Amino acid sequence: MNNAQKQEKRELFYLRAFLKRMEIEPQRTERGENPPDFYLVCGSVRIAVEITEYHSQRKGPGNHSWRMVEEAWQEIKALFVTKRQQYPALDEVHGFLYFKDLEMPSSGQYEEFVDELLKFGMSELNVLTEERTLYHCFPATYLLLNRYLKKMHLQKVGCHMTWGMASATYVGISEQELERAIFRKLKKPRPPRIDEYWLLIVSGTHMSQNIGLTGHEIFNNFTGVNKKIQASCFDKVIFFQYIYERILCWNRNKQWEQLKAARFSRDSLSNGQPPAGIP
């Protein structure tokens, strides 16, 4: 599956989750010409939907982009999960990694880094217990672990778990961040033969996408970006916080309002997992 196909799969996943939360059941969902990404046919109403994912562009320790760090970690974790299948003895070992200033290995180092993690995990297998064992340094042969990791803990957990990394970032949204996320979309022309045109902004599961429970009143104070939205050809601009199933909506009559209050996504906690590429 190429990147375009992965993106389409991700967008369709989020669109379906949004429609379910809104209790909208279109007769048909059609792929658009980009723009738009999709058409929804609801009775006699034809709605064009353009989808974009919100990411904060703020930087973390070491001036590294949170988004780039998160995307690199997803690549490393996916490779790790695949390679760990060759080491069933590690199925009940959980690891947690702390990177130095959140600097990640380069893409060309992913495989070697994962190999070192697996090799080190196997070397420590016989001494691990249910209590966390903390490692601040590694034997000299583990070049990449020593270069990138500040520390790591390992423990036996008695179940199959995905390894994780420490991450934290600013939670909130500014007018500049919102405008940066959508300004290219606002310049797109209105598709022909439609009744409504929606811009769906998705806040996914990355920390860099999390704005917390920022009130819709804050969005109404973003006068500059709201003027640009008003001048665009969108009838509605919708901010969908997937992990909370919360929906904020701008339209030409009411400005920003909360359509659906926050609750944790039941789908994300059960079988409705995002497709590969969505952490």
Which residues in the chain land under pLDDT 70? 1, 56-67, 160-161, 164-172, 207-209, 264-279
At residue 139's C-alpha, the angle toward residues 114 and 91, to 5°, is: 40
Query: What integer pLDDT is reported at residue 269 of this predicted model?
Result: 40
How far is Cα 113 from Cα 142, in angstroms, rounded to an integer?
Answer: 9
- 27, 36, 43, 180, 213 from 40: Cα distances, Å: 8, 11, 9, 27, 28
Read off the pLDDT of residues 185-240 as tens digits, 9 standing for 90 and up: 999 899 999 999 999 999 877 766 677 788 888 899 899 999 999 999 999 999 99
CB burial class (10 A; 0-12, 13-18, 19+) of residue 191? middle
Query: What integer pLDDT is reported at residue 60 of this predicted model?
Result: 54
* Proportion of the chain above pLDDT 90, given as a percent: 51
111: left (phi over 0), alpha (psi -120 to 50) or beta: alpha
How far is Cα 56 from Cα 67, in angstroms, rounded to an integer?
Answer: 7
Residue 255: DSSP 8-state = E
Residue 59: DSSP 8-state = B
Output phi, psi for 82, to 5 deg. Answer: -65, -50
Query: What integer pLDDT is reported at residue 59 of this predicted model?
Result: 54
- 58, 103, 146 from 100: Cα distances, Å: 18, 6, 10
The answer to whether the predicted template modeling score (pTM) of the entire model surpasses 0.75 is no
Helix (H, G, I), strand (E, B) or coil at 143: helix
Q: 201, 166 in Cβ contact below 8 A? A: no
How far is Cα 213 from Cα 261, in angstroms, rounded to an integer?
Answer: 9
Query: What integer pLDDT is reported at residue 42 of this predicted model?
Result: 95
Q: 46, 191 in Cβ contact below 8 A? A: no
What is the SS3 assignment for 86-129? CCHHHCCEEEEEEEHHHCCCCHHHHHHHHHHHHHHHHHCHHHCC
Q: Name 47's bridge partners.
A: 40, 196
Residues 6 or more apart from 184 whose CB is under 8 A from it?
none
Query: What integer pLDDT is reported at residue 264 of this predicted model?
Result: 67
How far is Cα 189 from Cα 251, in angstroms, rounded to an integer?
Answer: 18
Query: What integer pLDDT is reported at residue 108 of this predicted model?
Result: 94
Query: What integer pLDDT is reported at residue 135 of this predicted model?
Result: 94
